[in-house]
Amino acid sequence: MNLAAIRHRSTGCDCYALDDSTVVLNLTTGYDVKKATVFFEDPFIHELRREPAWEGKPQEMELLYELERHLVWTVRLKPEYKRLQYYFIAEGGGGRVCVFENKICFEEERGRISTEFFKFPWLNPADVIAPPRWVRDTVWYQIFPDRFCRAKDSKPDGKFRKWGDFSDPHFNDIYGGNLRGVREKLPYLKKLGISGVYLNPIFLSNSNHKYNTFDYYTIDPDFGAEQDITDLVSAAHDTGIRVMLDAVFNHCGWEFFAWQDVLKNGRESAYFDWFFINSDDFDRRDFSTADGRFYSFSFWAGMPKLNTNNPRVQRYFIDLCLHWVRDFGIDGIRFDVGDEISHRFLQNLNHELKAEKPNVYLLGEIWFDSITWLNGTEYDAVMNYPFPGAVGDFWQDRQMDARTFMKRLNFCRSLYPTQINEVMFNFLDTHDTPRVRDGCESDDELLQKLAVLLTMAGTPSLYYGTEIAMRGTHTPYNRSCMPWDRIEAGEFDSFTQKVAALIAVRNENPAAKEDGFRFVFDENNPRLVRYQKRSLTVILNAGKRAVPLSAEGETLFANLYGDGMLYPGGVLILRGR
């Protein structure tokens, strides 16, 4: 047996409280393990029973995930006295091993060596990770404000480029999209099936992306004024759409008042320790901070890094978020460069914001395994970057079969507890990546990827324009203007209606939102993806030949399916048997 493949820690996604009465235990093993059993009981039960030693009672575990090199076994326990002590026995290859906290040993060795049991000390309801429930039912639409829509009654402004003109585009181009334009398009989003809008930064800056914020309390005049964001949030709520703002707290822009004071007064500035300044000659206007004179975002001198360890910096941004929640009425905050912000700051911010608005959604932009930030005291979820990687790899690597695709998806799910998986921010592209359509051979392939996105646990997000199959390989092309004249002329209706139908499948079928699926494989068609989620069946033909299928049940969505054949690039979603 491969003992090196066996692992468990009584923390993170290996051991966690699902609710105020249930504890989930997960054990990772190699593929040579065929059976796993947990032995558990209250750690003091032997004293209660006047028995000489603690033994534990057995409960066979279920296979939860097949990963590329590991298996993950799971069990859900309801400890009668809120405490757990436990160990595991793994069986396979003709042997049985005991898995303790301090060692893994063969069963016959157990009596000769000291062992320490795993423990879940106490199931405190206040410690149960409980993200906002509404998030799992939300379909987001990410908007880059400058490029989404310019309100029809907006006044001409000579600094704006002609809407949609992407001839010889430049990183600094401004097209004049604004908040009133977003508000005008709420009926369009509602018809599409959207229930959440995520806005890239909207506060004062000299860039089109606004990630170098000058004033966090002032709406950038290019986008409107404070009344425009309150009106947008109010109108969105009336339409049944939530609103999430982008918070850039890792760094600021050059004109931020605190940085300007430091530039003027140097070490005498009251704000000097709001930043990470390492040299007295930091005030130079060259492009990069690679010389280390001060820390900045990605060596960009125009984005000085904020010291979120500083209590005064924390107070400033906590008060700011409270203002956004109280006065704008927003429902969520996405934290840019969320992995570089102080844990203590996030804990303090979470505590105060949740006291003000318990159901506010706090989302971190982190591109890798983020369990450290997801214990219920910091972020509710993060942007699930492994997910678009798994989806993209399957369609890019035409040799990959459906079983390997399942394992890649399982890896994404295996990183976090179930209740976090249900609110992870899933997407196929953003303003920071190439548009998903550019990685597709056809619009049909894009529909396949969207079918996966919209039938997986997590809160799915579409980048603006995905519903019309917009393209753009890299910045600035991935941030082009929405072609409203062509949209209103009906040029994209056929594709948009299919996207809306896929979103409707998610909105109308609770099984699509749940964490869990069962893949069914066709050895004759290795790139036929078929998985079931209770009564929901999703089938995708990512192969090169048509596959005969009988639609057993109610057809909820079909593309490239007819006469009992699912053609290459086709999608079939059924409800029923």
Helices (H), 35-142: 45-48
Q: Could you give the CA distance from residue 73 to residue 60 in angstroms, rounded to a whole number?
A: 9
182: tokens are: 């977003």
514 CB neighbour count, 10 Å cutoff: 18
Please work out, in degrees rounded to the nearest 5, the angle formed at the alpha carbon of residue 221 by the alpha carbons of 216 and 226.
Answer: 60
CA distance 373 to 284: 35
In whole angstroms, what is the distance from residue 222 CA to residue 215 CA?
14
The gap between the terminal CA atoms of the chain, to the nearest Å, is: 39
Between CA 31 and CA 268 the distance in angstroms is 62
**Contact present, 200 and 240 (Cβ < 8 Å):** no
What are the residue numbers of the active site? 336, 365
d(CA 64, CA 60): 12
CB 455 within 8 A of CB 512: yes
Burial class (CB in 10 A: 0-12, 13-18, 19+), 368: exposed
Residue 226, phi-psi category: left (phi > 0), alpha (psi -120 to 50), beta (remainder)? alpha
Q: Which residues contact 221 (CB under 8 A, 6 or more apart)?
A: 204
Let me know how many helices (H) and strands (E) the chain has, helices first.
14, 26
Q: Are residues 423 and 380 in contact, defined by beta-carbon separation less than 8 angstroms?
A: yes
Sign of CA dihedral 463, 140, 390, 378: positive
DSSP run (H or E) holding 44: none
Rounded CA-CA distance 212/302 in Å is: 7
Cα–Cα distance for residue pair 526/402, rounded to 1 Å: 6
How many degrees, rounded to 5, is the angle at CA 105 between CA 103 and CA 110?
A: 105
